[in-house]
Amino acid sequence: MSSRKTAIVTGSNSGIGLATAEALAGSGCNVVLNSFTDNEADHKLAADLAKKHSVECAYVKADMAKPAECRDLVAQAAKRFGSVDILVNNAGIQHVSPVESFPTEKWDAIIAINLSSAFHTTAVAVPLMKKAGWGRIVNIASAHGLRASPNKSAYVAAKHGIVGLTKTVALETAGSGVTSNAVCPGFVHTPLVEIQIEDRMKEHPGMDRDAVVRDIILEKQPSKQFATVEQIAGAVLYLCSDAAAQVTGTTISVDGGWTAA
Ligand code: NAD
């Protein structure tokens, strides 16, 4: 990326979001980090990133389950840095349960955080990007935005939804210098997946960790290897580059071959 841009990464104090924030700062962007926690450690992450990459970084607390806070996150970033050039909608949670016993509050939280938050941030960011004649919206969807798995009704619904939102925003912004795309990771070893590994180990006490990872977690990932957070961040960086100016309304899978089948 040539000139200094401002990037917002939602849910960026951990995992894919943090790696993406780091990659964007490394490419010379000012970065707004976000989570709902507002710990000392969150502010330190922003300060460390700024120092390491000689850019400006800010931590802004916003709960992505709350529409007004999603919208305010973008407004605050614009106020502080004067523009919002890159928006990475990354915040996400998971809950695994059959549909008949899926708790309603978990369904509501997953739809709010994994899908509706991106609608709210995008709605505020698009006019700013259109006015500037340049913008990049990158939604972190999932292989579950393209394929289903049992017991993940809310997650699969939200991720299919965000792929639909991605395409719609691409059509609405086509020709304006703004692009809208989604990255669809397969399994990436982050805290979100560590919880699933531990739960599956409890369900299969006879299997060791390696077998649970290979045969259960990575069952659908033909490479039998996790993608790394840096590889996901690399796909985001590509979509934010000038080389991707005509890439819009599409998905990039980083899933070890999962969706080839
Ligand atoms: P993670 O648990 O490491 O990170 C999730 C991030 O979201 C954290 O920074 C957390 O603070 C933030 N977050 C959660 N609830 C929030 C809220 N209410 N408000 C603001 N921030 C909130 O998990 P991850 O694996 O890095 O997941 C990041 C994204 O990647 C998610 O959208 C997830 O669905 C997606 N994804 C992950 C995988 C994987 O295998 N790890 C695969 C496909 C897609």
For ligand 1, say whether the CB of 256 is within 6 Å of any of its atoms: no
| pLDDT score, position 2 | 44
Cα 118 from Cα 10, distance rounded (Å): 9
The answer on 131 and 31 residing in a single domain is yes
165 in any annotated domain: yes
The answer on 78 and 96 residing in a single domain is yes
179 in any annotated domain: yes
Kindly tell me the sign of the dihedral angle through the C-alpha atoms of 214, 234, 78, 244.
Answer: negative
Cα 77 from Cα 7, distance rounded (Å): 9
The answer on 118 and 221 residing in a single domain is no
Catalytic residue among 155, 187, 226, 258: 155
97 in any annotated domain: yes
Record the tokens describing residue 7, joined without a space. Answer: 């990037």
Cα 141 from Cα 185, distance rounded (Å): 7
The answer on 156 and 47 residing in a single domain is yes
For ligand 1, say whether the CB of 113 is within 6 Å of any of its atoms: yes
| Per-10-residue mean pLDDT, the chain, length 261 | 84 98 98 98 98 98 98 98 98 97 98 99 98 98 98 98 99 98 97 93 95 96 97 98 98 98 92
260 in any annotated domain: no
CA of 192 to the centre of ligand 1 (A): 7
Find out whether 25 and 52 touch, Cβ atoms under 8 Å: yes
For ligand 1, say whether the CB of 33 is within 6 Å of any of its atoms: no
27 in any annotated domain: yes
Ligand 1 atom nearest 13 alpha carbon: 9
Report, in angstroms and rounded to the nearest whole number, the Rg of the chain calculated over CA atoms. Answer: 18
The answer on 131 and 81 residing in a single domain is yes
54 in any annotated domain: yes
CA of 16 to the centre of ligand 1 (A): 7
The answer on 249 and 231 residing in a single domain is yes
**Residue 256 amino acid letter:** G
**Ligand 1 atom 2 nearest Cα:** 192
Query: What is the CA angle 47-50-52, rounded to 5?
Result: 105
Helix/strand number for the chain, H first, E second: 9, 7
The answer on 242 and 159 residing in a single domain is yes
| pLDDT score, position 3 | 66
Domain range for residue 200?
189-226
CA of 100 to the centre of ligand 1 (A): 25
Cα 54 from Cα 67, distance rounded (Å): 32
The answer on 195 and 181 residing in a single domain is no
CATH code for position 89: 3.40.50.720
CA of 140 to the centre of ligand 1 (A): 9
**Ligand 1 atom 8 nearest Cα:** 11
Find out whether 94 and 188 touch, Cβ atoms under 8 Å: no
For ligand 1, say whether the CB of 73 is within 6 Å of any of its atoms: no
User: Which residues, 6 or more positions from 111, have their beta carbon under 8 angstroms from its beta carbon?
Assistant: 154, 157, 158, 161
For ligand 1, say whether the CB of 81 is within 6 Å of any of its atoms: no
Distance of CA 254 to CAs 19, 23, 157, 186, 225, Å? 15, 17, 20, 6, 11
Number of domains comprising the chain = 2
**Ligand 1 atom 9 nearest Cα:** 11
For ligand 1, say whether the CB of 137 is within 6 Å of any of its atoms: no
The answer on 137 and 168 residing in a single domain is yes
The answer on 152 and 132 residing in a single domain is yes
Q: Which of 22, 38, 90 is the best mutation target for the ligand 1 pocket, counting ligand atoms within 8 Å of the beta carbon and taking the most?
A: 90
The answer on 50 and 114 residing in a single domain is yes
Q: Is 114 helix (H, G, I), strand (E, B) or coil?
A: helix
Of 77, 244, 254, the residue nearest 177 (C-alpha): 244
The answer on 125 and 19 residing in a single domain is yes
Active site residue 59: no
